[in-house]
Amino acid sequence: LEIGDQVLAIGNPFGVGQTVTSGIVSALGRTQLGINTFENFIQTDAAINPGNSGGALVDVNGHLMGINTAIYSRSGGSMGIGFAIPTSTARNVLDAIVRDGQVTRGWIGVEPQDLTPELAESFGLAPGAGVVITGVLQNGPAAQAGIRPGDVITAVGGKPVATVPQLLSAVAALQPGVPSPLDVARRDGKIQLQVTPGRRNITRQAAAR
C-alpha cells in the first residue's frame, strides 16, 4: 500500500445499512494520535462515520488493506481524516489470540527518547538512526542483556528503529522468553546484544518499555 492509492471503506454508518465510500491513502504509519499505546495507522480520506469501525478498508481490487478504526472529527461525522489498522497488525493480533488465547507483547524495561541531531552527531550516527536509552529498569530484561543508559538502540530483531513508537512496536512484537538481537551504538563503537524479553503487563507504566 502506498500514499495516493485508491481505497474503499465498507461499513454500516449510522445504522443505515451496508455502505461503501471511496478515497485515497493520505498517509501511512501514523503514530502519536493518543488512540492507543501501540499505533501504526493508515490514514485515509474515504468517509468513515460511526458504524464503520470494524469494517474493511480495501483496495480497488478488493484486497483487504486494513480495519477501519477511528476518525478525527469536531462534529462527530467524517471530516476526511480517518484511520485504519493495517492488515499486518490485525493478522498478528489474530494469530496471537488463536495461538495463545490472548495478545502477548514483549517488554524489555527501558526508558527511551528520540535521538536529537546533537546526540546523533556525538555518536557518529545520522539523525533518526536510532533511539537513545535514558533509563534501564534494574534487573529487567534490558539490564540483564547489558543495555546501559546512554546506549542508542538502532535495530530490534534486525529491523531498524528510528523513533520511540517504532522501538515500542518492535519490542512489543518480540516473543517473550525468546532471545532476540539488539543493535546498539555506544560512544566507543557498535555492538550487538541478545535480550530475552519478558511479557508486557498492560498495568505497567508506559515508561518501562
Q: pTM value?
A: 0.65
Q: What is the pLDDT of residue 134?
A: 92
Q: What is the pLDDT of residue 121?
A: 82
Whether the domain at 6-100 and the domain at 106-199 fall into the same CATH topology: no
Q: What is the pLDDT of residue 10?
A: 93
Q: What is the pLDDT of residue 201?
A: 66
Q: What is the pLDDT of residue 65?
A: 93
Q: What is the pLDDT of residue 36?
A: 62
Q: What is the pLDDT of residue 205?
A: 44
Q: Where do the DSSP E strands lie in the chain?
A: 6-11, 19-30, 41-44, 56-59, 64-71, 82-86, 106-107, 110-114, 131-136, 152-156, 159-160, 180-186, 189-195, 198-199
CATH for 106-199 (3.40.50.2300, 2.30.42.10, 3.30.70.20, 3.90.650.10): 2.30.42.10
Q: What is the pLDDT of residue 57?
A: 93
CATH for 6-100 (3.40.50.300, 2.40.10.10, 3.40.50.1220, 1.10.10.350): 2.40.10.10
Task: Express each pLDDT in 168-190 by its tens digit.
Answer: 888 988 888 899 999 999 888 88
Query: Could you say which residues of the chain have pLDDT below 50?
Result: 203-209
Question: All 3 cell numbers of residue 32?
Answer: 502519536
Q: What is the pLDDT of residue 34?
A: 59
Q: What is the pLDDT of residue 93?
A: 81
Q: What is the pLDDT of residue 133?
A: 93
